[in-house]
């Protein structure tokens, strides 16, 4: 398993995980087992991971195509990328200052970019959001400030978060 910054999702949802590596772009994170640039990480061997969890990261990578190509390279055949990217959002000041915040996505744009690396038919993209969740988020509300049914309502015109699932084909 590869996760960015911390093993939060692996810890919460992983089952039967034998090893987790944590990738950081810069030194200083004691949880990081790999320090490197996701756009060019020759120190990570190819076909090394069964799963890469990349949440709310790709917007800080200017060369997102290179990052997706690296993720594809380091996933084992049959390996899965689970990613989220922002749609409707405000900038994140600390990360914007450190890395630059370059992109916000639609389900269509995220799918198309991921398909360039993983191939057509190997990527699923789904958006989450509605006018209430988008407005609440922009006003600084957290998910816990809204009722589950308010968050569950989906309106394709208000893509707050985009989820990606991409599979590296075998053979």
Task: Report DSSP letters for 30-93, one per residue.
Answer: TT-SEE-BTTB-TTSPTT-EEEEEEES-GGG-S-HHHHHHHHHHHEEEEEEEEEEEESS----H
Confidence of residue 90 (pLDDT cuts 50, 70, 90): very high
**Taking the alpha carbons of 42, 43, 49, 51 in that order, is the dihedral positive or negative?**
negative
Task: Give the pLDDT score at 140.
Answer: 94
- In the predicted structure, residue 160 carries a pLDDT above the cut 90: yes
pLDDT above 70 coverage of the chain, percent: 100
Task: Give the pLDDT score at 165.
Answer: 98
Nearest to 90 by CA among 101, 98, 79, 100: 101
- In the predicted structure, residue 142 carries a pLDDT above the cut 90: yes
What is the Cα 157 distance to its own chain's centre? 21
Say how many CA atoms lie within 13 Å of 95 toward its Cβ.
Answer: 16
Task: Give the pLDDT score at 141.
Answer: 95
Dist CA 17 CA 75 (whole Å): 15
Residue 149 sits at φ, ψ, to 5 deg, of: -70, -25
Task: Give the pLDDT score at 15.
Answer: 92
Task: Give the pLDDT score at 171.
Answer: 72
115 CB-near residues (< 8 Å, 6+ apart): 121, 122, 123
Task: Give the pLDDT score at 104.
Answer: 96
In tens, the pLDDT along 14-50 reads 999 999 999 999 999 999 999 999 999 999 999 999 9
The whole-number average pLDDT for the span 90-94 is: 91
In tens, the pLDDT along 51-70 reads 999 999 999 999 999 999 99
All structural domains of the chain: 2-127+161-167 (3.40.50.150)
Task: Give the pLDDT score at 91.
Answer: 92
Asked whether the beta carbons of 129 and 159 are under 8 A apart, the reply is yes
Dist CA 154 CA 68 (whole Å): 27
In tens, the pLDDT along 119-132 reads 999 999 999 999 99
């Amino acid at each position: 398993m590869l996760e960015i910054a911390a093993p939060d999702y692996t810890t919460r949802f992983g089952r039967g995980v034998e090893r987790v590596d944590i990738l950081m772009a810069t030194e200083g994170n004691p949880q990081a087992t790999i320090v490197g640039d996701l756009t060019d990480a020759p120190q990570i061997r190819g076909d090394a991971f069964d799963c890469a969890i990349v949440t709310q990261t790709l917007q800080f990578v200017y060369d997102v195509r290179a990052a997706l190509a690296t993720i594809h390279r380091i996933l084992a055949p049959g390996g899965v990328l689970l990613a989220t990217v922002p749609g409707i959002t405000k900038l994140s000041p600390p990360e914007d200052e450190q890395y630059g915040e370059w992109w916000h996505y639609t389900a269509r744009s995220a799918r198309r970019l991921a398909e360039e690396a993983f191939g057509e038919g190997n990527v699923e993209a789904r958006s989450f959001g509605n006018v209430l969740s988008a407005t609440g988020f922009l006003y600084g509300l957290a998910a816990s400030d809204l009722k589950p049914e308010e968050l569950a309502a989906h309106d394709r015109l208000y893509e707050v978060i985009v989820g990606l699932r991409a599979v590296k084909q075998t053979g």
